[in-house]
Amino acid sequence: MFRNFICQRSGPGALDRVFSRFVPVLAALLLSGCSSLGYYGQLAEGQWQLLRARQPVERLLQDPATEPTLRQRLLHAEQARVFASQQLQLPDNRSYRVYADLGRPYVVWNVFATPELSLQPITHCFPVAGCVAYRGYYQQGAARGAAAVMRQDGMDVYVGGVEAYSTLGWFDDPLLSSMVGWGDERLASLIFHELAHQRFYVKDDTEFNESFATFVEHEGTRQWRVARGLPAIEDSAQRQREQFIRLVLDSRERLQRIYAGALDDAGKRAAKKAEFERLRLAYRQLRDSEWAGDKRYDAWMYAPMNNAKLLPFGLYDQWVPAFAALFAEVGGDWARFYQRVEELGGMPVEQRKAVLGKLNAAT
């Protein structure tokens, strides 16, 4: 599943975090498949290679040949893993107690698609993971090939690399080489987020699942810093992140109105193009007036823009305030919090959203 929404780095990788958290549809490995056998085949092969590459972290820590930086990251991950189970009451299993070297920057590449004049994602449904707004590929070339076919069909398409995912407990998920290069704290946050998905997952409700895991990640990271005697995270980058997301979400709302409006297709295409230019102008004004020219999001903003590129925004944040309110209601008791989350997850979807909406409004 996706990690924290925006990576706090400049340059081309500035939004890599956006694509670190979607659960690949690995439930398909357990099926004969009613869709493309070739697609299921590459999922099976990719997951099998990943499983074969796993090594126990304990063995690597004891091996004098282990590279010092990797050793330090694995030791930190092991400490965070213990904290996750003992303090955050997340699953205590072999996930993230094994390591796999991928030899590539991402574990999978996800392909998102929408119609040209709609923000409705093209979804793909699987028995365990439910319906998701992407397809995952273990080879970048395969992802690009699938994207090219969709573009020929007139779709808006976006491809994003994924650094980590959860199999929801079907396998012992490893720490990946794509994860350990991001720094100690981000690695711990990844572990908290992914284990939250193992702790509880609702089929067919990405916003619920990601908001829940994102809250666990944020609160877990805060508690992890306190336990290590570190100060609170400086909030300027967080504020920029929130302002940037708000810009994109506002633009998406305007596009929704355009596509639902009375213009003909030619008019909607012109309005769509104008809206993306409006978004870039609003971004430049914000960047240059309030951010002192900080260009951390330039690469994302000035790359080609389309509907599919906007899909991930909001998925990871929509109900985070609601889960924060729920956590406060139970006095920060993790066991009671998870019980309340499970109760919410058992509700019909509209009732669940109504409750979450009230919790959001109360914050």
Q: Tens of pLDDT along 177-194?
A: 988 887 888 899 999 999
In which order are the strands placed within the sheet that holds 175-176? 55-56, 98-100, 175-176
pLDDT of 226 above 70:
yes
- The whole-angstrom separation of Cα 218 and Cα 220 is 5
pLDDT of 294 above 70:
yes
The percent of residues in the chain predicted with pLDDT above 90, rounded, is 68
CA atoms within 13 A on the CB side of 87: 19
**pLDDT confidence of residue 152:** 96
**pLDDT confidence of residue 10:** 28
Mean pLDDT value across residues 317-337: 95
- The whole-angstrom separation of Cα 286 and Cα 136 is 34
Mean pLDDT value across residues 321-344: 97
CB burial of 240-253 (b: ≥16 within 10 Å; e: otherwise) equals bbeebbebbeebbe
* Residue 146, both tokens: 């699938």
Mean pLDDT value across residues 84-97: 97
